[in-house]
Structures are given as C-alpha cells and as structure tokens.
C-alpha cells in the first residue's frame, strides 16, 4: 500500500492522572502507541510518522525503531500536532492515514478499508465514524438531510440538536496529503477550547469542492479511545477477548477465557489446555499438548511439547518436552529444564540447567548450577551460591543422588553416580561414584532420663 501514516502521540492525557504520558501506558504488556504503530505497519505502511511531545523522552524510545519521529513543540490541538509532521511529509503525494495514538484496538483491516475508500472516491478526506449509545466526549458528525457529511463539531461546541445524535468522529482519517497540509494552514482556534482542531479540515475540504466521506466502523469497539483508566480496563478486556478467541479457534482449550491473559506476541500450538488464572506474556511460546495453570504466569518462556505447569511462575526460561513444574515452582531467568525434568513444590531455580529426567521435587533452591541427567535432589536441599559478595557455581554429574536437606556450598563439584548423605554440608568436591557424608555423628547417651515405668 502506497500510503503514509501520521500517529498522534504528543498529548498528555491528564485524565489518566499519571506521571507517565498516556500513550506509554501498557495494554497486555504493549504500550498503547505501539498497538497503533503495529496496526499501521500491518496495513502496509512501512514507516509511519509518530508525533511526540509531552513525555517525549519516554514515548520516543518506544517507537523510534519502527517510526519516523516528528516533534510537536506546544500542545495547541490535533491540527497543530499533524502540522508538526509537515517536514516528514514534504514531497509525498497520495493518501495519509491520521491515527490517534490512544486507540489500541484499531485493526489493520479497518485502516486498509479507510485507505481503499479514499482511493476509490478520490475524496479529500474519509472519516471513520461510529454510532454510539453514549457519545459523551466525542466530536459529533453533522450530515445534511441527504446524508452528506458537512462537518465535525466537538462536544463543547455542539448545539443541543448536534449533541443529541450518536454518530461520532472516531479520530481515524484518510486524507489527500496535499489537501491536508494546504487546509491545515487555514484552521483557526476560534472554539470553546481555543485549540486548532484537525476536524475543521473537513469543512475546509468541502468548501473547496472536495468530496468528504464518512465511513461507518463495523465494530465501534475498535475506535475506543483511552482517556481514563476505566477505558484502559475496558480496552484490555476487549483485546483479551480478541486474542483468546483467536487461540481457541486455532485449537487451544481455555477453561475460563475471562481469567486467562495472553500477550499479543505469544505463540500457542493446538491441543494446549489452559486452566484459570493463567498469564502468558512477552515472547512466550507453548508447544502442543501442554497443560498450563491454574495460577501460572510465564514471561518470555519457551515451553516444549507435553509439559505440565501447575501454579508456576517462569521468567526467561526454556523447558524441553515433557517437563513438570509445581505446584508453586519459580523458574527465574536462565533456567533450562531438559527433556522430562521435574521441578516440584516450593522449588526455585535460577540460571541453572536441570538435566534430562532429573528431579528437584520439594522445597529446594538451585542457583548457578549445571546438573546432569537422572539426578535426584532430596527434599530441602539447596545450593549456597552466594557468599555475600559473589555468586559461585555448582556442578552435579549424571545419576547422582543428593540426600535431603543438603547444603551444597559453591563453588563445588559433585561427580557422576555419587551419593550425598542427608543433612550434609558439602564444601569440598565429591568424586564420581563416591559417598559423601558431612554432618555431625549421632550421639546416644543411654539412661539419660529415668525410665517412665519406674
């Protein structure tokens, strides 16, 4: 598509009551403005222009990898915001989409329909409109008796008749670029808010004999603008539903889609079953036949086929096929569970490899450890990987059995096929095939107390 796009993201968003600029607030882990940027790119716009201003130091880094940046100096209104993209638009012809950076639910399909509508009619502008039961706060569409779109009037400037009708401006447009920048020079600020309104371009275009088209949005939810945190929650639920339906229709079972939150970049293969209160975020991917949840949260995890994760939190971890975790397992960054490994109840793993078929079933902390295959770690055993200043590593060879409540004081190497007696504090290396016991011997003093039978 040979279409340009300008995304408005310079506003403050006072109604969010936040130190953070509005468009930087996240919806399912992705900043609001980034949703709009992605929709434009998916519609075929290679490099949208993003207008930044308020909180520029926060907003610009979110988009500069995929957008050209224009800077709005003052906060003089939406027409002024578009004008600040004039340098980036110089010399361009054809269509330009103008999009609000605070409307994350917009789809690339609708943007393509907007651009197609302008190209077919050679209109000066196509406005995406929406019919709302409660139009409070939106600009109203004014049509003549035959249905021609005359102008857009902001709520604060409306007559009672204009206020009464429910067709509203969505804030999404496709303009003829030349007409747009020519008309912007003619926009004044004689209105209730003393701002330069982009919406005034519609009336100017008509006066100059250009066609103006109002295209009704099929699904007004796409145009939900985020002005308050209530709307942010509503948009989160709408997006959650959209994403979850997509996965369910692709073969994923969800017991309770309402309590299942899946980020936009997560990949899930068919025949995965997701139990309630599960959160999959970031660049997480789940292979076939896994069962996740209840109460499971994964961030940036790669999970192989047929794993079972019950009440598990995983961050930047990799699980090969057939692993089981939880209930109450915590996999911290750098965890790698090899084929068939088990991490059980109240177990924390950090920056460690757990070899194929190895088991850490109960109440353990394993950090900075390379563990071979077929190892069994007894209940309550931990690696003491931190001496107060530095982290040290532990290695445990294949088929080794570590008895319960063992402290492995790193740096330490335990060989293959070794046995460590329960309750040991291991401070020295254990060779292959050896038995190591490091604990006080049991002392028994008979007759210490008088016998009860006497």
Applying CB under 6 A, the residues found at the interface with ligand UD1 are 8-11, 51, 53, 72, 75-78, 80-81, 100-102, 138-139, 152, 154, 168-171, 197-199, 225
- Report CA torsion sign: 230, 231, 232, 236: positive
Q: Using CB positions, name the residue nearest to ligand UD1.
A: 139
Pull the structure tokens for residue 66: 């995929």
**Residue number with CB closer to ligand UD1 (139 or 397):** 139
> What's the min distance (Å) between Cβ of 104 and ligand UD1?
11
**Residue number with CB closer to ligand UD1 (54 or 332):** 54
Distance CA 267, CA 277 (A): 18
418: partner contacted, choices Ca ion, ligand UD1, none (Cβ within 5-8 A by kind): none
Q: Is 362 a catalytic residue?
A: yes
Question: Interacting stretch for Ca ion, rule CB under 5 A, among 192-200, 224-232, 340-348, 412-420?
Answer: 224-232
Distance CA 98, CA 210 (A): 18
Are 313 and 297 in contact by the 8 Å Cβ rule? The answer is yes
Among 13, 225, 326, 374, binds Ca ion (CB under 5 A): 225
Site for Ca ion in 353-372 (CB under 5 A): none
199: partner contacted, choices ligand UD1, Ca ion, none (Cβ within 5-8 A by kind): ligand UD1
**Residue number with CB closer to ligand UD1 (171 or 340):** 171
**Residue number with CB closer to ligand UD1 (238 or 384):** 238
Radius of gyration of the chain (CA): 31
152: partner contacted, choices ligand UD1, Ca ion, none (Cβ within 5-8 A by kind): ligand UD1
> What's the min distance (Å) between Cβ of 200 and ligand UD1?
8
Q: Considering only CA atoms, which of 101, 103, 102, 9 is closest in space to residue 53? A: 9
> What's the min distance (Å) between Cβ of 9 and ligand UD1?
5
Query: From the candidates 54, 336, 346, 362, which is the catalytic residue?
Result: 362
> What's the min distance (Å) between Cβ of 153 and ligand UD1?
8
> What's the min distance (Å) between Cβ of 78 and ligand UD1?
3
**CB-based burial, 112-142: b 16+ in 10 Å, e otherwise:** bbbbbbbbeeebbbbbbbbebeebeebbbbb
198: partner contacted, choices ligand UD1, Ca ion, none (Cβ within 5-8 A by kind): ligand UD1
Q: For residue 215, list its beta bridge partners.
A: 128
Q: For residue 26, list its beta bridge partners.
A: 31
- Measured in residues, the chain has a length of 454
Is the peptide bond preceding residue 266 cis, with omega within 30 degrees of 0?
Answer: no
Half-sphere exposure of 290 (CA within 13 A, CB side): 26
Pull the structure tokens for residue 350: 């950090």
Pull the structure tokens for residue 202: 């519609």
Distance CA 208, CA 179 (A): 10
Spacing of C-alpha 430 from chain mean position: 46
154: partner contacted, choices Ca ion, ligand UD1, none (Cβ within 5-8 A by kind): ligand UD1
> What's the min distance (Å) between Cβ of 336 and Ca ion?
45
Which chain residues interact with Ca ion by CB under 5 A?
Answer: 225
Query: Catalytic residue positions?
Result: 362
């Amino acid at each position: 598509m040979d279409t340009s796009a300008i995304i408005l993201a310079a506003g403050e968003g006072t109604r969010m009551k936040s130190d953070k600029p509005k468009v930087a607030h996240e919806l399912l882990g992705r900043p609001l403005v980034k949703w709009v940027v992605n929709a434009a790119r998916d519609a075929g716009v290679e490099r949208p222009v993003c207008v930044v201003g308020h909180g520029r130091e926060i907003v610009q880094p979110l988009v500069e990898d995929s957008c050209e940046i224009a800077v709005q100096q003052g906060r003089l209104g939406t027409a002024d915001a578009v004008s600040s993209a004039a340098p980036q638009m110089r010399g361009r012809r054809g269509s330009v989409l103008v999009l609000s950076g605070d409307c994350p639910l917009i789809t690339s399909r609708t943007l393509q329909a907007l651009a197609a509508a302008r190209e077919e009619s050679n209109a000066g502008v196509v406005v995406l409109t929406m019919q709302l039961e409660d139009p409070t706060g939106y600009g109203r569409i004014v049509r003549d008796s035959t249905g021609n779109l005359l102008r857009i009037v902001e709520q604060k400037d409306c007559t009672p008749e204009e206020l009464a009708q429910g067709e509203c401006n969505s804030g999404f447009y496709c303009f003829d670029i030349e007409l747009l920048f020519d008309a912007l020079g003619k926009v004044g600020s004689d209105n209730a808010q003393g701002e330069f309104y982009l919406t005034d371009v519609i009336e100017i275009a008509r006066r100059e004999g250009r066609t103006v088209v109002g295209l009704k949005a099929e699904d007004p939810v796409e145009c939900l603008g985020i002005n308050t945190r209530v709307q942010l929650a509503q948009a989160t639920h709408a997006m959650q539903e959209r994403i979850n339906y997509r996965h369910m229709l692709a073969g994923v079972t969800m017991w309770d889609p309402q309590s299942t939150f899946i980020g936009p970049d997560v990949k899930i293969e068919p025949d995965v079953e997701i139990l309630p209160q599960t959160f999959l975020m970031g660049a997480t991917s789940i292979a076939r036949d896994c069962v996740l949840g209840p109460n499971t949260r994964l961030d940036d995890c790669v999970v192989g086929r047929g794993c079972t994760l019950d009440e598990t939190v995983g961050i930047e971890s990799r699980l090969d096929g057939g692993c089981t975790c939880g209930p109450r397992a915590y996999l911290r960054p750098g965890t790698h569970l090899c084929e068939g490994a088990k991490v059980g109840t109240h177990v924390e793993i950090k920056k460690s490899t757990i070899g194929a078929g190895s088991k850490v079933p109960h109440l353990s902390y394993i950090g900075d450890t390379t563990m071979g295959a077929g190892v069994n770690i007894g209940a309550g055993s931990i690696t003491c990987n931190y001496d107060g200043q530095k982290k040290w590593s532990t290695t445990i060879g294949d088929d080794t059995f570590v008895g319960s409540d063992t402290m492995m004081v790193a740096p330490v190497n335990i060989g293959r096929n070794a046995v460590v007696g329960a309750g040991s504090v291991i401070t020295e290396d254990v060779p292959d095939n050896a038995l190591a016991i490091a604990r006080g011997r049991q002392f028994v003093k008979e007759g210490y107390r008088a016998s009860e039978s006497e």
